[in-house]
């Protein structure tokens, strides 16, 4: 294998390092980096003034806010549920436990359009339950902000759980037992011992859920009714703009897309830098 | 204690998020308080003429007559998509559809109980002929529907499953062949019309879900030709001169009905909704449609006001097939779905 070694080191210079970094970047360029860049180029091609006014259009502002708020509530719910489910499933063994774990993870594999239709088929005016609870002539649950939150909860259901559960699984029980022997109640133990060591998992689970929910399209377009300025989230607004015949619609659509891209960038940067910090804190505590 | 710091930081973040979360945004359409709101669902290409001309004109008229603000919230998608949304319970009060069959579907679904045919012009608010859009300079030499069957042509055609325009387009191609063979030999040649349709569909490379999406696809540079509403072609040409409109010798005029979705109209809202619907046949509204490249439904003379509208040599309507009641089962289903789609 002398030849390989000679490839790896040329006069003490490590060839493998720049080569592998180069290959990685060369693969990322056409697949991820350049497409993202194109959004910025198109979004900015009519100048910053146009970009800003597209962003400040009342319906665009509303769509962005609606996305943030519906994602926020879906995140709150899914993190709380993820904590509960992770706790229950790692502490107790019961009949059907594995079936529950599989069921929680299912929404990752279900096409989002199917998720949207599933909600309609249950809660819609002709749905199995909706028929009785929300008849066509009365108030609806579907086609409202709540329907968007429900859709977001459905599609991001497993994310927070998936991050939190492994931490529960590997957490040493001795600390909890110690706190119990000092006479702490279950609740105190949870609050002062269990929760602090979960901090990193909770934050990253929440950010992942939030990032995924903000970009949700497939289920939202079915359950929201897609009314501009009422139930139109940012991704739906972008889609409507792509299909709009106005001059400058593409640039306006990409202006909103830029905001969403930047938001994801911020979220994942926080995720990357804050996780280390939170883990460190947890160890110090 | 680093622990305290982080707890405080996290508490602040949570509070901040709760701050964002607790204030639901105010819909821009309702920021005025008071007044009435009309919810309209329309098929994809109605968007510009309604939002730019019709809504403001009607709001101004109603305000001056009754002193009440009228606001509109609307959503646009393929005609079949819109119809399905309303059948599933979306709270539309008015719907403008591409094909009368969708109005009939809303009637069978009990969403619509009033008779749109009792409205002026049998409920048709505007019309537009079907044309072919090609790249600048017409590099593929397309002069009529039959040329779309030539081998090597890449055609963009909306999806008949979700788009009303796609169904008009099928009727346009099929009817155009029937009429031209009739002109030549005295009898309409169904076999030849079917062959042409089959050959054209072998060239279809993309079926977007609405006429508007099909246009967006074509605009992005995919395909050699697009069959669409004349106004789509004109809008695209106005926005960007890199296209040419090919006007077929014989083509169909699509006719777009409006329906009041009675299920979602309260007695209190009915007067303003009926006034809005009837407003669409006033000269003011019809002129606005013509300015936006539609053809008028009331008075053909208004067509003169838009110089860009083409003259069609042999125009026909869905009546040529005996109305939508017959055109849908006989052409869209038995010709297209059974003999064209299945053979692809």
Cα radius of gyration (chain A): 24
Over residues B287-298, the pLDDT tens digits come to 999 999 999 999
The answer for residues whose C-beta is within 8 angstroms of residue B110's C-beta and 6 or more apart is: B263
A66-75, B107-116, B145-154, B204-213, range with the lowest pLDDT: B204-213
Residue B31 pLDDT class (50, 70, 90 cuts): very low
Q: Which residue out of B25, B30, B51, B269 would a mutagenesis test of the A interface target, given it has the greatest number of A Cβ atoms within 10 Å?
A: B25
pLDDT higher than threshold 80 for residue B342 = no
pLDDT higher than threshold 80 for residue A172 = no
Q: For residue B21, list chain A residues with Cβ-Cβ distance below 8 A.
A: 69, 72-73, 76
Average pLDDT over residues B124-143: 95
For residues B15, B18, B19, B21, the Cα torsion angle rounded to the nearest 10 degrees is: 160
Q: For residue A285, list chain B residues with Cβ-Cβ distance below 8 A.
A: 2-3
Task: Calculate what percentage of chain A has a pLDDT beyond 70.
Answer: 92
Average pLDDT over residues B12-30: 59
Average pLDDT over residues A8-16: 71
Distance CA B223, CA B208 (A): 12
Q: Do A228 and B17 touch (CB under 8 A)?
A: no
Distance CA B339, CA B45 (A): 29
- pLDDT value of position B1: 43
Over residues B247-268, the pLDDT tens digits come to 999 999 999 999 999 999 999 9
Distance CA A77, CA A72 (A): 9
| Distance in Å, alpha carbon of B103 to nearest chain A alpha carbon | 18
Q: Do A225 and B10 touch (CB under 8 A)?
A: no
User: Closest residue of B to A197, CA-based?
Assistant: B3
Over residues A186-233, the pLDDT tens digits come to 888 878 888 888 888 898 899 999 999 999 999 999 899 888 888 999
User: Closest residue of A to B212, CA-based?
Assistant: A243
| Distance in Å, alpha carbon of B156 to nearest chain A alpha carbon | 15
Q: Do A228 and B90 touch (CB under 8 A)?
A: no
Bridge-based pairing state of the strands B94-96 and B36-43: parallel
Query: Is residue A110 classed exposed, middle or buried when 0-12, 13-18 and 19+ CB atoms within 10 A define those classes?
Result: middle
User: Closest residue of A to B84, CA-based?
Assistant: A222
**Neighbour-count burial for A213-250, b at 16+ CB within 10 Å, e otherwise:** bbbbbbbbbbbbbbbbbbbbbbbbbbbbbbbbbeebbb
Residue B202 pLDDT class (50, 70, 90 cuts): very high
Average pLDDT along chain B: 90
Note the maximum CA span of chain B.
97
- Tell me how many residue pairs between chain A and chain B have CB atoms under 8 A apart: 99
Residues B36, B71 contacting (CB under 8 angstroms):
yes
Residue B26 pLDDT class (50, 70, 90 cuts): low
Q: For residue B25, list chain A residues with Cβ-Cβ distance below 8 A.
A: 61-62, 65-66, 69
Average pLDDT along chain A: 88
Q: Do A126 and B29 touch (CB under 8 A)?
A: no
Minimal Cβ distance to A243: which of B10, B28, B213: B213
| Distance in Å, alpha carbon of A30 to nearest chain B alpha carbon | 19
Task: Calculate what percentage of chain B has a pLDDT beyond 90.
Answer: 76
Q: At CB < 8 Å, which residues of chain B contact A?
A: 2-3, 6, 10, 17, 20-21, 24-31, 39, 44-45, 47-48, 73-77, 85, 88-91, 111, 210, 212-213, 215-216, 232, 235-236, 239, 263
Q: For residue A120, list chain B residues with Cβ-Cβ distance below 8 A.
A: 88
User: Closest residue of B to A125, CA-based?
Assistant: B89
Query: Is residue B239 classed exposed, middle or buried when 0-12, 13-18 and 19+ CB atoms within 10 A define those classes?
Result: middle
Minimal Cβ distance to B47: which of A134, A143, A245: A245
Query: Is residue B151 classed exposed, middle or buried when 0-12, 13-18 and 19+ CB atoms within 10 A define those classes?
Result: exposed
pLDDT higher than threshold 60 for residue A8 = no
Residues B207, B157 contacting (CB under 8 angstroms):
yes
Q: Do A228 and B75 touch (CB under 8 A)?
A: yes
Average pLDDT over residues A56-78: 94
Residues A79, A160 contacting (CB under 8 angstroms):
yes
Cα angle B165, B171, B174 (rounded to 5 degrees) comes to: 140
pLDDT higher than threshold 50 for residue A1 = no
Q: For residue A73, list chain B residues with Cβ-Cβ distance below 8 A.
A: 21
Q: For residue A247, list chain B residues with Cβ-Cβ distance below 8 A.
A: 239
pLDDT higher than threshold 80 for residue A11 = no
Residues B134, B264 contacting (CB under 8 angstroms):
no
Residue A175 pLDDT class (50, 70, 90 cuts): confident
């Amino acid at each position: 294998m002398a030849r390989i070694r000679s490839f790896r080191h040329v006069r003490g210079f490590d060839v493998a390092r720049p080569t592998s970094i180069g290959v990685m970047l060369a693969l990322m360029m056409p697949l991820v980096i350049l497409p993202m860049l194109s959004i910025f180029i198109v979004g900015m091609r009519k100048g910053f003034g146009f970009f800003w006014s597209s962003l400040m259009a009342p319906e665009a502002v509303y769509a962005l806010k609606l996305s943030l708020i519906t994602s926020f509530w879906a995140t709150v719910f899914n993190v709380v549920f993820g904590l509960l489910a992770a706790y229950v499933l790692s502490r107790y063994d019961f009949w059907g436990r594995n079936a529950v774990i599989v069921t929680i993870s299912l929404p990752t594999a279900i096409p989002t359009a199917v998720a949207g239709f599933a909600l309609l088929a249950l809660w819609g005016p002709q749905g199995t339950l909706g028929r009785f609870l929300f008849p066509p002539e009365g108030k609806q649950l579907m086609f409202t902000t709540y329907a968007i939150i429900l859709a977001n909860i459905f599609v991001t259901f497993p994310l927070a759980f998936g991050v939190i559960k492994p931490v529960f699984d590997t957490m040493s029980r001795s600390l909890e037992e110690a706190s119990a022997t000092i006479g702490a109640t279950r609740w105190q133990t949870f609050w002062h011992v269990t929760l602090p060591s979960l901090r990193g998992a909770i934050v990253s689970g929440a950010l992942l859920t939030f990032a995924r929910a903000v970009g949700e399209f497939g289920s939202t377009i079915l359950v929201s009714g897609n009314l501009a300025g009422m139930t139109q989230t940012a991704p739906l607004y972008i889609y409507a703009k792509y299909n709009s015949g106005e001059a400058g619609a593409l640039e306006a659509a990409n202006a909103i897309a830029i905001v969403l891209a930047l938001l994801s960038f911020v979220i994942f940067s926080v995720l990357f830098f804050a996780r280390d910090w939170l883990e460190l804190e947890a160890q110090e505590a | 204690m680093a622990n305290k710091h982080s707890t405080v930081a996290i508490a602040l973040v949570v509070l901040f998020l709760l701050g964002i979360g607790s204030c639901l945004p105010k819909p821009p359409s309702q920021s005025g308080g008071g007044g009435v709101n009309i919810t309209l669902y329309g098929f994809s290409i109605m968007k510009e003429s309604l939002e730019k001309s019709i809504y403001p004109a009607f709001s101004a008229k109603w305000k001056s007559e009754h002193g009440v603000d009228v606001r509109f919230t609307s959503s646009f998608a393929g005609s079949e998509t819109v119809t399905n949304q309303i059948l599933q319970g979306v709270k539309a009060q008015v719907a403008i559809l591409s094909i009368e069959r969708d109005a009939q579907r809303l009637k069978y679904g009990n969403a619509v109980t009033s008779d749109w045919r009792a409205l002026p012009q049998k409920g048709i608010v505007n019309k537009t002929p079907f044309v072919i859009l090609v790249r600048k300079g017409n590099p593929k030499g397309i002069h009529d529907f039959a040329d779309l069957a030539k081998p090597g042509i890449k055609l963009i055609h909306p999806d008949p499953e979700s788009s009303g325009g796609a169904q008009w387009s099928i009727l346009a191609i099929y009817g155009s062949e029937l009429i031209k063979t009739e002109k030549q030999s005295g009898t309409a040649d169904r076999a030849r019309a079917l062959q042409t349709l089959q050959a054209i569909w072998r060239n279809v490379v993309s079926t977007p879900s609405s006429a508007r999406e099909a246009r967006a696809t074509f605009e992005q540079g995919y395909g050699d030709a697009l069959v669409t509403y004349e106004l789509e072609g004109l809008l695209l040409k106005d926005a960007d001169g890199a296209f040419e409109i090919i006007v077929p010798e014989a083509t169909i005029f699509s006719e777009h009905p409006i329906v009041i979705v009675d299920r979602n109209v309260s007695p209190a809202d009915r007067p303003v909704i009926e006034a809005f619907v009837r407003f669409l046949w006033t000269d003011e509204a019809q002129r606005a449609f013509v300015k936006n490249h539609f053809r008028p439904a009331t008075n053909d003379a208004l067509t003169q006001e838009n110089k860009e509208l083409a003259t069609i040599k042999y125009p026909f309507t869905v009546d040529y097939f005996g109305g939508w009641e017959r055109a849908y089962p006989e052409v869209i289903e038995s010709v297209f779905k059974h003999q064209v789609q299945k053979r692809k």
